[in-house]
Structure 1
């Protein structure tokens, strides 16, 4: 007679870790790689690729990854890589997503996933055809406050969303070189977060019209070269909700990321620039310490999004999608990009309202 306890007595085989390669060893690539190596359960970094001599070697050595290379094909062909983190320059993202997907690798891609709708569609199709996970780095969905605000919408406490707001203010003073900042960066790489946040806090809706203004207020001398450092965007959604997104490259008081959703039954706000919950009361008044880097302010969110990516690979996408916040995928990236492209078109036309359906698939020029 077979013992009913034999199956339970057998040792359970551990689930092998997801083997991750980083493509792009710059600032954000370094941050993500270190988080995978030290803070994300069930994953291990096995390779780093970067075309700059020495960049991959330094990051691989820091996290104990066995492979460092300047050759992306070496990574994509490796049987020791299950997934890639794409943290290369934004204009290369779509092509890298397609190459990784065709190689059968799961993909985490930093925002923006693409800079044209045509590119976005190619990336989405490549991931779908390869049956791989495609996640985009909209980290605010995983910040505790923003996730709680979405739950307040989902459980009805906010009611029907009517007015929304999202803002990003990078810490100042801004010392960047405008000549090294690609045109339209403020929409494609900064406000793209806010556009996704507004869609996230207004679920089930679609943006229909965009109205944008932008200028070089921090570096007026760079205006003629096309550099824009300050912007305000208004968005109308098909459920009637109206939203505002704003960005600045120089908040002297620190990194500032906030969101708000006001509805028929209440309001939820999220975001705080504090680096600790300490408030100092002294002779100069009341003071708080603020974060100066996005990787500090949103550390928990970065860990959360990378953990969700690994869990999606280990346990199947359906388990993650049933949770809140939902994993942002290619379709979420495409929706945020639609808003960004409409905002760019609005600025080009002197602030005219642009209907989303009229947005060109050509992307930025």
Structure 2
């Protein structure tokens, strides 16, 4: 799919929640090569409020109506994870290029359906792994690929969210499928050319033990073995009281890269209370530029016809690690990653 028009790419947003609203603002105000053409959300009034705020002409509760609009060339899917695969399939069959928030699917058969639908329709499919667009993580990847620190041997990636509210609407295994899925993709990205083969995982409800009977695990550590011999650790917590914390580290035979920071800026205050820093408490503060860059990349891939930098196959590979981690927690033993030799 290639669009040669000099006009901005008309993009429809599906899902007007927290992340969808940020993407809508990016399409409406931050990308000159794109325009927000329509917003759809099944909750009455939600799409209209967002569309009005951004001067978008079309607000819908019927997602199928947005997909049927011939004037829309691409869609951004930012709905609950369980709906992603079906929406990717529907959008691809409607001939729309698709940007889908992570995870693209929660089962491997659904991931395969989404990938096959986009391939059959000949439309780009990109998935929202934002760390690949962060300047520090991207520079580390490029340096590792160039051999700057030799062969990767030990890797680490972590995600710590600032707080845990009542998790009633949070489905089981969220910590693997929606949080650590970022770290699994990041570890693949930082170990280019290697594939994860085996996973050992531990997880528990340490922040809110009273929520464990609902199936919510809020703390997890996952060890991953790659086929090039590298060993990686991914960890997550749903309660970092100091702020939103995302970091990575790659130790190689010839050196080490570290990346990520909890600070909103590099400003450090020195005063009577001591030395303090301004920590980010929101992912859209820490990864604002990366979120914009990933949508800019998506729009460019649609307009030029090139393959997106983050594909459906990348999403499937990260999901395979997440599902192996879930199996490992369930059995208390290491689990092979689906597709590993």
TM norm structure 1? 0.90
Separation (CA, whole Å) in 2 of partners of 1:253 and 1:35: 28
Query: How many residue pairs end up in the alignment?
Result: 337
Deviation digits for residues 165-192 of structure 1 (CA, Å, limit 9, x no counterpart): 00000013x2x22222100000000000
1:24 is matched with 15
Aligned-residue offset at 1:284: 2.2
Aligned equivalent of 2:72: 81
Distance 1:180 1:53 in 2: 19
Correspondence for 1:347:
329
Residue-by-residue CA offset, 1:86-126 (whole Å, 9 max, x unaligned)? 00100000000000000000000000000010000000000
1:129 aligned to 2:120? yes
Alignment of 1:1-365 (within 5 A): 15-172=6-163, 174=164, 176-317=165-306, 327-350=309-332, 352-357=333-338
Query: Rg bigger for which structure?
Result: 1
Structure 1 Cα separation of the partners of residues 68 and 331 of structure 2: 46
CA contact (8 A) 1:195 1:336 kept: yes
3-state SS, counterpart of residue 337 of structure 1: helix
Q: What is the alpha-carbon distance in structure 2 between the residues aligned to residue 153 and residue 126 of structure 1? A: 33
**Partner-residue secondary structure (3-state), 1:44:** strand
Q: Distance in 2 between matches of 1:39 and 1:272?
A: 25
CA–CA distance in 1 between the matches of 2:316 and 2:300? 23
Residues 206, 237 of structure 1: 8 Å contact kept: yes
Question: How far does the alpha carbon of each residue in 1:254-279 deviate from its partner, in whole angstroms, 9 at most, with x for none?
Answer: 00000111111111111011111111
How far did 1:41 drift? 2.5
CA apart distance, 1:14: 6.6
**Distance (whole Å) between structure 1 residues aligned to residue 102 and residue 127 of structure 2:** 6
Q: Unpaired segments of 5 or more residues in structure 2?
A: none
Runs of 5+ in structure 1 lacking a partner?
1-12, 321-326, 360-365
Structure 1 residues 129 and 358: alpha-carbon distance in aligned structure 2, compared to 1, 3 A threshold: closer
What is the aligned partner in structure 2 of residue 5 from structure 1?
none
* Partners of 1:307 and 1:357 in 2: CA distance: 32
For residues 72 and 357 of structure 1, the distance between their equivalents in structure 2, rounded to whole angstroms, comes to: 33
Query: For residues 292 and 116 of structure 1, do their structure 2 counterparts lie closer, same or farther at Cα, with a shift above 3 Å needed?
Result: same
Does the 8 A contact of 1:213 with 1:233 survive in 2?
A: yes
3-state SS in 2 of match to 1:88: coil
**Is the contact made by 2:104 and 2:315 (CA closer than 8 Å) also made in structure 1?**
yes
Once residues 280 and 338 of structure 2 are traced to their aligned partners in structure 1, the CA distance between those partners, rounded to angstroms, is 39
User: How many Å separate the matches in 2 of 1:213 and 1:338?
Assistant: 17
In structure 2, distance between residues paired with 1:116 and 1:218: 27
State the 1:224 CA deviation: 1.9
SS for the counterpart of 2:217 is: coil
- RMSD over aligned Cα atoms: 1.3
Shift in Å at residue 151 of structure 1?
Answer: 1.1
Do the aligned partners of 1:41 and 1:307 also contact (CA within 8 Å) in 2? no
Question: 1:39, CA displacement in angstroms?
Answer: 1.1
Measure the CA separation in 1 of the matches of 2:5 and 2:326: 49
Q: Give the distance between the partners of 2:48 and 2:168, measured in 1 at CA.
A: 29
8 Å contact kept, 2:324–2:338? no
